[in-house]
Amino acid sequence: MHNEGDADLVVLGGGLAGLTFAWEAGHRGRQVSILECQPQVGGLARTLVFNGYRFDLGGHRFVSAWPEVTQWVQEVMADDLVSVVRRSRIHLGGRYVDYPLQFPNAFTAFSFPQAIRILASYLYASLRRNDQPDISFEDWVVRRFGRGLYDIYFRPYTEKVWGIPCAELSADWASQRIQLPSLTAAVRSSLFRQQSPPATLVSRFLYPTLGIGSLPERIVAQAQATGRVTLHLNSTVERLEPDGRAWRVYYRQDGQESTIAGRQVISTIPLDTLVRALPLGDGVAELSRALAYRGIICVLLAVDGPRISQDTWTYFPDHRLIFGRIHEPVNWSRLMAPPGKTSLCLEIFSSEGDGVWQETDERLVDCALADLNRLRLLTPDRVEAAWVTRVTHAYPIYRVGYARVLRQARELIARWPTLHLLGRTGEFEYLNMDAVILRALRLADRLADDR
Ligand SMILES: Cc1cc2nc3c(=O)[nH]c(=O)nc-3n(C[C@H](O)[C@H](O)[C@H](O)COP(=O)(O)OP(=O)(O)OC[C@H]3O[C@@H](n4cnc5c(N)ncnc54)[C@H](O)[C@@H]3O)c2cc1C
């Protein structure tokens, strides 16, 4: 077994959380080693490059309500960012309408009987509203928007994303993601522009000219330039052992077993993986299974000719279509495809091991092309090449009851004060990039004097 020696801080995972932490800790004079299983950094926020086409794994826009985080990103990127207008639409009943829905225009997307049902069920829900706690996503939405809008608008897309009934999805997810508290508030916000709209409704965002992956790439390059941060790629963490006052981390690098010791460990790898890697005793398999993540499969298409749409994202709730969301990278930055060409990233929501996950790449591409053709968005003859990438841990699944399981996992881990959870994947918390960056900077700050 190869022994890498000792580090002060060992960071598991080289996504935004791990890299930002290493950047700040390195600048504060700490020795940091990062272990990342992929051949490149960035995790969910990486950009893949094929034949001159650049693809995020689902477009990543940067917005933040924390000015210090925006300033930090601008400094790291040396202002190599473009400001992009957000224009997202959803395909409902054969038509494209603004997403999130803009009322009262949104009513043109519904048939007359649907519009009546939406209004009547909203009135009914408003009259029946009481203080009972919301358990599921379904409870939360039906009480605030009525069953009509839930059935027609909220349920189809949400169930496509998560692959479980909305009655099994926790109300926490709705309260974090749906930022307008009722249909009346949605109408009011559409009619009168808010001074500081919630992040999900912001109409402009920042984007690196060469894709979101250039943010983690610059972070790690600047961290390494301190001379204190070491990056190990293709290094999969398999086991952690408390070793006196330190940790011994076992990982596999290019097939070879290796080990490194560290005084503190910062884990940004999936929580289910971490739980299995720790000496936690019985019940761990069950706990790990309960901390489930939803995956995505990205079908990436190189396309000849002009732009396909003007949208930032387009959403497709229809269950007969294989993809749930698409984006055209040149609408984010012109440099994302070679001149005269464009491209598409199609997101298929799926979980590791399920039926769609196990389809061959060829079949996924064929289905996606057939659906695009049916929608009259793109004919297959324009497609010059296609690639498929699978991401296992894209979204922590907030199933009803997840909070208890999460608390149990955190309590077990808290017995080791030198092991820290960090980031969206590591903390099992639905965080956007700005929150991940903020938490990473704060954790490095908190540990700064703890040598
Ligand atoms: C489809 C999609 C679209 C998104 N769009 C936006 C957006 O528009 N705006 C926004 O702000 N946020 C967006 N996000 C969220 C954003 O991607 C995350 O907040 C952020 O990238 C999380 O970073 P992280 O480091 O916490 O996690 P991750 O990026 O998951 O990092 C974890 C790292 O650990 C590595 N790893 C896993 N297992 C091991 C192991 N055993 N050993 C070693 N390494 C391991 C992984 O390879 C990965 O690099 C989006 C997310 C998804 C999935």
Q: Provide the CATH number for the domain around residue 175.
A: 1.10.3110
Is 335:82 a contact under the CB 8 Å cutoff?
Answer: no
Distance 392 CA to ligand 1 centre (A): 10
Strand order in the sheet with 95-98: 95-98, 89-92, 314-315, 325-327, 341-350, 293-304, 383-396
The number of folded domains in the chain is: 3
Q: What is the rounded CA–CA span in Å between residue 333 and residue 327?
A: 12
Confidence bin at 124 (pLDDT 50/70/90): confident
Which ligand 1 atom minimizes the distance to the CA of 393? 30
Whether the upstream peptide bond of residue 100 has omega within 30° of 0, thus cis, is yes
Confidence bin at 106 (pLDDT 50/70/90): confident
Sign of CA dihedral 197, 203, 208, 214: positive
Domain's final residue, options 153, 170, 196: 196
Confidence bin at 107 (pLDDT 50/70/90): confident
pTM of the model: 0.94
Q: Which of 60, 254, 345 to mutate to test the pocket of ligand 1 (most atoms within 8 A of CB)?
A: 60
Range 408-411, long-range pairs (CB < 8 A, 24+ positions)? 408/287, 409/271, 409/275, 409/287, 409/291
CB of 43 closer than 6 angstroms to any ligand 1 atom: yes
Do 331 and 366 share a domain, yes or no?
Answer: yes
Q: What is the rounded CA–CA span in Å between residue 369 and residue 199?
A: 33
Residues 87-102 have pLDDT tens digits of: 999 998 888 988 888 7
Do 244 and 256 share a domain, yes or no?
Answer: yes
Q: What is the rounded CA–CA span in Å between residue 223 and residue 131?
A: 50
Query: Angle CA(253)–CA(269)–CA(443) in degrees, nearest 5?
Result: 115
Do 370 and 250 share a domain, yes or no?
Answer: no
Do 403 and 390 share a domain, yes or no?
Answer: no
Average pLDDT over residues 375-397: 97
Is 443:11 a contact under the CB 8 Å cutoff?
Answer: no
Do 360 and 277 share a domain, yes or no?
Answer: no
DSSP string of 95-162?
A: EEEESS--TTGGGGGS-HHHHHHHHHHHHHHHHH--SPPP-BHHHHHHHHHHHHHIIIIIHHHHHHHH
Answer yes or no: is 246 within a domain: yes
Answer yes or no: is 62 within a domain: no
* Shortest-distance Cα residue to atom 1 of ligand 1: 58
- Which class for 187: exposed (0-12), middle (13-18), buried (19 or more C-beta within 10 A)? middle
Domain's final residue, options 167, 196, 225: 196
Averaged confidence pLDDT in the chain: 92
- Is 223's pLDDT higher than 70? yes
Q: What is the rounded CA–CA span in Å between residue 268 and residue 429?
A: 11
Strand-pair category, 32-35 with 2-12: parallel
Answer yes or no: is 66 within a domain: no
Q: What is the rounded CA–CA span in Å between residue 239 and residue 218?
A: 29
Answer yes or no: is 72 within a domain: no
Q: Which of 41, 177, 268 to mutate to test the pocket of ligand 1 (most atoms within 8 A of CB)?
A: 268
Strand-pair category, 341-350 with 95-98: unpaired
CB of 424 closer than 6 angstroms to any ligand 1 atom: yes
| DSSP 8-state code for residue 170 | B
Express as a percent the part of the chain with pLDDT over 70: 95
Whether the upstream peptide bond of residue 104 has omega within 30° of 0, thus cis, is yes
Widest Cα–Cα separation across the chain: 70
Do 187 and 244 share a domain, yes or no?
Answer: no
pLDDT of residue 244: 81
405: containing domain: 2-43+210-291+398-447
Q: Provide the CATH number for the domain around residue 8.
A: 3.50.50.60
Is 432 strand, coil or helix?
A: coil
Q: Measured between alpha carbons, how far is residue 431 from residues 159, 176, 438, 440 in Å?
A: 20, 10, 11, 12
The least confident of 36-40, 141-145, 390-394 is: 141-145
pLDDT of residue 266: 98
Beta partners for residue 172, in sequence order: none
Is 315:89 a contact under the CB 8 Å cutoff?
Answer: yes
Q: What is the rounded CA–CA span in Å between residue 355 and residue 297?
A: 12
Q: What is the rounded CA–CA span in Å between residue 316 and residue 327?
A: 11
pLDDT of residue 111: 86
Domain's final residue, options 161, 196, 231: 196
Q: Provide the CATH number for the domain around residue 356.
A: 3.90.660.20
Answer yes or no: is 70 within a domain: no
Residues 154-209 have pLDDT tens digits of: 999 999 999 999 999 999 988 887 766 677 777 666 665 555 555 555 689 999 99
Distance 87 CA to ligand 1 centre (A): 24
pLDDT of residue 155: 93
